[in-house]
Structure 1
Amino acid sequence: MTAIPPRPDGRLRRIIPDPRPLRIGNFRRMFVSQVATVIGSQLTAVAVQQQIFDLTGSSALVGLASLVALVPLVVFGLLGGAVADSFDRRRLLMITSVGIAATSLALWLTALGGSRQVWVIMLLLAVQQGFFAVNQPTRSAVLPRIVPAELVPAANALNMTVFATGVIVGPLLVGVLIPVIGLPWLYFLDALTLTGVLYAVFRLPPIPPAGAGRGRAKVSDGLVYLRARPLLLMTFVIDIIAMVCGMPRALFPEMAEHTFGGPPGGGVALGLLNAGLAAGSLLGGLTGGWITRVHRQGMAILIAVVLWGISMALFGSTSLLWLAVLYLAVGGFADLVSSVYRSTLLQVAATDEMRGRMQGVFTVVVAGGPRLADLVHGVVADATSTTVAVVGGGLLCVVLTIVAGWFGRSLRDYDSRSPTHDEPGRVVERST
């Protein structure tokens, strides 16, 4: 077993993110490449919406693009997890990364050529999300093979900090870059950032799934495996409760205008609401030095989701913009903590031959939960008010989380110091 790098001395280590995973060469290269690609993916996400709206003037078609992206995420998220448990994960990351880059280049050429065929844009978007749906569970399944189990929480915290940064920086860059270089070149920049990922993946050793025969992994086996393991199943139940009940993102435009006095069509209020959650997540990542010292990770998940629900209920009860953003930031902080521990538990507690399929289910839940929340909150708000929808959803999140924690003893009592299964096939190395 590879020795774990020592933590830096000093009081600052209790605040700043744990940097030890960055001393592992394979993780460091993947992390550095991800810094650029997360921002690049945000460029494409915003550019697609803006391009469709520019061509059609229809917000409904922009919304349809979100649905088009969801379908391959759900379908290929499950299938991609099975594929990740059947083939060499390094090779799979290479193939899917090339596919994502190729579709970004195709979007670039389409926009550069002045095509007005919206169906072509949506088709390319769907293909790209299909590649992403295979890439994401594969990347997550690789992490516990290149990082010691004790450092997986720290590695996840670092990765999620980068993601939160990209959510903030990416859309801001779009506003700056479109007038300077034009919308088509946003796609090109996204494709360009993926070259760093290809280099990082190329430097990985072969990572065949341990204990699985090539081409034999089945989606149904993963679902049976999950049903028989209440600890893993509870991580998904808690995530669904948090997102469906407590994610009021769909109501931000209405609340920005009617609750916080913003102008029709967007403005500073809408921008601040959208940035609030990501800012809280970023703050949580930058001050998350304590995350790796928590061993009762199941209880930490439950507390974080309760805090998330409370912060959303408080958000829905105020008409002061600065206070609303503060509550959202608290929610974003809690969401990062919950996400780090849920991801870690799923990566460490699942056996390697099932890890890809568990990450596939995770991708489906993470992608589908917020979109289902958009529908639920929108329907409730139309029938009642945004206040009832947001406050009621936040309180329901708290109640259901407490109930789930009471009955879900496997999650409530989980301690990362307890013995877990062996980890065959680990390829951790400690290059500097």
Structure 2
Amino acid sequence: MNLNNIHNIYFIGIGGIGMSALARYFHASNKKVAGYDKTQTEITDSLVDLGIEVHFEDSIANVSDSFLNYDTTLVVYTPAIPKDNKELTYFKNDKNFTVLKRSEILGLITENTYCLAVAGTHGKTTTTSILGHLLYECGVELTAFLGGISENYNSNLILNGNKVSVVEADEFDRSFLTLSPDLACITSMDADHLDIYGDASELIKTFKDFSEKIKPNGKLFIKNGLPLEGITYGIEDDSDYSVNNIKIENGAYVFDVKMPNATLERVQFNLPGRHNLSNALIALAMAAEYGCPHQQLAKALASYKGVKRRFTYQIKTEELVFIDDYAHHPEEINAVHQAVREMYPNKEVLVVFQPHLFSRTQDFADDFAASLSQFDEVLLLDIYPAREMPIEGVTSSWLLEKIKNKNKQLVSKNELVAKIKESKARIVLTLGAGDIGAEVKHIKEALYV
């Protein structure tokens, strides 16, 4: 397909973080863009502000006539959309329309660019946003599609040209197999999405399949210890790229980076947590291998501000710290825990967690319990179902029983603010990938009083 011949792009699920980035991209490319989503959000409001038509009732009657012309319209959907969606059913049943998944569109966009892809079960969004920022600051003509809202650009799209593309290589639904990157990294291959893969071995096999998608003469970067061959990176080890001499100065990391042919000294990075340090390292390594000047990269890394809902400080005072994070897997919760304990030793920490998906909760219940038990106090919300129907016996009450911590409660959203205010903990965390992010504003307002 030649995207230059397409004038109208219609998105089903336009409010998704990845879908909205594509919508922004096509709008900036002077295409006519519109779409449907079931819920009005800040993201959909921002799209409407650009002049993009968005509606929230699933009905083909709401689709403008110009998008019903199959000769000039491309329909894009996300796998998160239910199969019985009326609009998706309409376009799929009419064999004249071209209907593609989001990942297939990314594949089309990136096939004629120099593509840098970030894969892994954790760290994709932060690593991609760091990499996009580094390349942008080094003057590279790039488009970066982000899975979160960058604090530096207040957007999930960094647009500075179209010679280079930076993308998240998403393992969900095997989406990343549509990509053919020049440079790619794999940050982790922990078991996840077992509702799709069945077991961890199949997930690992698919990551290996992805590694074989790299173009001839391309390069694969892997976290040291993963069962793949490539350029390695790690923290304080013998990797090809490694971080050493780590110090914390004024709340920021200061460290040296050992590279294959050079050493960068006293590099600064402002995000807490060893996981974020690892994300920064691989982004710097990929940008360096692309050809960016080393000292310019170090300067750019120091100016990186982060991604919204990735260890985002909502309140940061001497008396109280409130941090919000997207963590929804036991390993991600462990990473947040490490970061908090490193930055705030000897302080009591309250975690509010909303489990995401019944299947993930079932698959990793013991691991979730172990990771949550590390905190001083736990408030557990009901499971966010997303695309799933309930699984008998898999509930937040069931998970709560497994948590080895006496300071634990199952709470509703309505009582959440009151329960947080009752706590003596001065470090408060909200974690989860569901709609817990919508509660952050209310919590912040209540704690500021």
What's the TM-score bracket when you normalise by the shorter of the two chains?
Answer: under 0.3
Please, what TM-score do these two structures have when normalized by structure 1? 0.27
Higher strand share: 2
* Structure possessing the higher relative contact order (Cα contacts under 8 Å, 6 or more residues apart): 1
Please, what TM-score do these two structures have when normalized by structure 2? 0.26
